[in-house]
């Protein structure tokens, strides 16, 4: 809800001529009455504020400021239908009343986000520097986009952010949220562009830097991804997810020795996670330290018995040690739990071949080959910090 009805509905309104009142005394009385009503709203005495506003409207039924304030009272009383009518009447009486557009946007925020964003555009066209309207635009558009994405409508999520972005095209926060919505639809190049724009406007912006690292990684631009993640961590060294992200990027660059400290730091910051522990197991396996790798994988499986990566790792260790039945069980479970995991299918195929199950092995090799063709670096990180 609005931070202060006094500022949103009264001070901005009086900055614009509403109508001519030849009697100076009458004008002053009106202003004092509106101040009194706004003060009562601030004090949550809605009944008293309503009484004063009704008297004003009885004398002049088209008073836009009084209509707006009464609409705010109705909004606080959860009478949204009446509040909407009052705000619309206030706008009809004076289209240049920014507080009425803002309050109407707040009313629409949950159920009609497109209309809410449009009303905020109207408010900001009248008062471009109004921080309450700016903050409302950021908040409402981001919340609506998140709700749409959560419901599976990523197209609508991006459309909402683009609508808000058009109103404040040079706002770094909106640029980042628009980038994240684009990236959620797989438009990483577009996301990269929005993020670079945001960083040109606000160079010290860790949230944009983190998102840019994700955009680069998704496009397999590993060196720029590493650079941005290190830049982010210089500002936020205790972010466990970002430490994991840096380690992941370094693994993709085939720099396991550099990746290990990042995963260890991530694990120290967030001991109950599984992913950094799993990656440390992967590094140990790659370096030929099977016992150490098995210990890491076992700890992962204690926390997450269905972790496909750890099941695959244990299956590979069993396969290399000749424990084919164990390898088959581990790898089959991993392939079923993660049908898109190339390594699980590949080693499952090798195990089936060793067991003489040629037809099944060929099927798994075919799956693995198709997965390898479309494989690319991904990072299971939060979408923004």
Q: Is 360 exposed, middle or buried (0-12, 13-18, 19+ CB in 10 A)?
A: middle
pLDDT per residue as tens digits for the range 220-231: 999 999 999 999
pLDDT at 241 > cutoff 60: yes
* pTM flag (> 0.95): no
Residue 30's pLDDT is 85
- Please report the DSSP string for 119-146 in residue order: HHHHHHHH-TT-HHHHHHHHHHHHHHHH
Predicted local distance difference test score (pLDDT) of residue 84: 96
Is residue 12 very low, low, confident or very high in pLDDT (cuts 50, 70, 90)? very low
Q: What is the pLDDT of residues 43-92, one digit of tens each?
A: 899 999 999 999 989 988 899 999 999 999 999 999 999 999 999 999 99
> 245-294, pLDDT tens digit by residue?
999 999 999 999 999 999 999 999 999 999 999 999 999 999 999 999 99
Q: Is domain 1-141 annotated with CATH 1.25.40.10?
A: yes
- 267 CB burial (10 A radius; 0-12, 13-18, 19+): buried
CB within 8 A of 49, min separation 6: which ones? Answer: 37, 38, 40, 41, 69, 73
pLDDT over 80 at 167, yes or no? yes
Q: What pLDDT band is residue 373 in, cutting at 50, 70 and 90?
A: low
Hey, what are 36's tokens?
Answer: 């009194």
Look at residues 384, 380, 385, 383 and name the one whose alpha carbon lies nearest to residue 245. 380
Contact 229, 245 (CB under 8 A): yes
Cα distances (Å, whole numbers) of residue 26 to 58, 67, 359: 15, 18, 94
Domain ranges, ordered by start, for the chain: 1-141, 326-374
**Interval 339-365 mean pLDDT:** 96
């Amino acid at each position: 809800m609005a931070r202060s009805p006094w500022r949103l509905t009264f001070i901005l309104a009086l900055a614009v001529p509403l109508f001519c009142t030849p009697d100076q005394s009458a004008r002053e009385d009106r202003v004092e009455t509106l101040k009194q009503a706004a003060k009562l709203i601030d004090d949550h005495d809605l009944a008293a504020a309503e009484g004063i506003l009704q008297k004003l409207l009885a004398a002049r039924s088209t008073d836009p400021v009084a209509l707006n304030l009464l609409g705010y009272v109705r909004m606080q009383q959860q009478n949204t239908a009446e509040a909407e009518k009052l705000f619309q009447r206030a706008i009809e009486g004076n289209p240049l009343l920014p507080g009425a557009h803002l309050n109407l946007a707040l009313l629409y925020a949950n159920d009609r986000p497109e209309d809410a964003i449009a009303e905020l555009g109207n408010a900001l066209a009248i008062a471009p520097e109004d921080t309450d309207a700016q903050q409302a635009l950021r908040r409402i558009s981001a919340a609506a986009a998140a709700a749409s994405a959560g419901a599976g409508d990523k197209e609508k999520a991006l459309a909402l952010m683009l609508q808000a972005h058009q109103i404040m095209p040079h706002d770094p926060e909106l640029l980042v949220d628009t980038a994240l919505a684009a990236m959620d639809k797989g438009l990483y190049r577009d996301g990269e562009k929005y993020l670079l724009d945001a960083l040109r406007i606000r160079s010290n912006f860790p949230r944009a830097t983190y998102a840019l690292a994700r955009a680069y990684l998704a496009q397999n631009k590993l060196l720029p991804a590493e650079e941005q993640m290190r830049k982010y961590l210089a500002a936020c060294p205790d972010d466990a997810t970002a430490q994991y992200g840096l380690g992941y990027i370094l693994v993709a660059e085939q720099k396991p020795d550099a990746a290990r400290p990042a995963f260890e730091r991530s694990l120290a910051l967030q001991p109950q996670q599984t992913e950094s522990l799993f990656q440390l197991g992967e590094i140990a396996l790659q370096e030929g330290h099977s016992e150490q790798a098995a210990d890491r994988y076992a700890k992962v499986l204690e926390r997450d018995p269905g972790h496909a990566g750890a099941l695959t790792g244990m299956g590979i260790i069993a396969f290399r040690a000749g424990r084919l039945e164990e390898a088959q069980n581990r790898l089959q479970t991993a392939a079923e739990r993660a049908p898109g995991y190339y390594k699980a299918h590949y080693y499952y195929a090798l195990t089936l071949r060793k067991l003489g199950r040629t037809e099944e092995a060929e099927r798994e090799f075919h799956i693995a080959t198709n997965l390898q063709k479309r494989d690319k670096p991904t990072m299971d990180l939060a979408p923004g910090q």
